[in-house]
A = this chain, B = another copy of it.
């Protein structure tokens, strides 16, 4: 049985974060000392590691709550239940990547257009492009 600081050391999650996860129903200490100190069993540790791994995989805490409810009763859920959550998350990630790539492209075009030198910015082409609303080259990006 581990105390919260020991679990923290073992998982790399702060004690604050562990309590926060508990408050949100993700994890729990299966026992408490008389004084109320949390004590974590091996099964508790595995659950916390699951949460950590899912977090590192990009799942939100809400996603993880769903995954955990599947985890405790795998018989009552299908593989499709799991892939649905995973696919939805992948779709979100892909959408965000596309959004950022559009911004990336805009910024690259801006940087290419400007000398970046020590001359004053009176005719800086980045400033001009921002003033003109990303006309011309940024037509594609702008439509996003």
Contacts and interface: CB of A to CB of B under 8 A. Distances in A.
Given A93-B104, A107-B57, A120-B74, A79 B114 contact: yes
Given A120-B76, A127-B70, A127-B71, A134 B53 contact: yes
A126 interface: yes
Contact of A134 (B56, B74, B130): B56
Interface in A51-105: 52-54, 56-58, 67, 70-71, 74-83, 86-87, 89-90, 93-94, 96-97, 100-101, 103-104
A108 interface: yes
A67 B111 contact: no
A53 to B, nearest CB: 5
Complex copy number for this chain = 2
11 contacts: A50-B131, A56-B142, A57-B134, A77-B121, A78-B120, A79-B114, A79-B118, A86-B107, A87-B111, A90-B111, A93-B103
Name the 7 nearest CB pairs between A and B, nearest first.
Answer: A58-B103, A83-B116, A90-B107, A74-B121, A74-B122, A77-B121, A82-B126
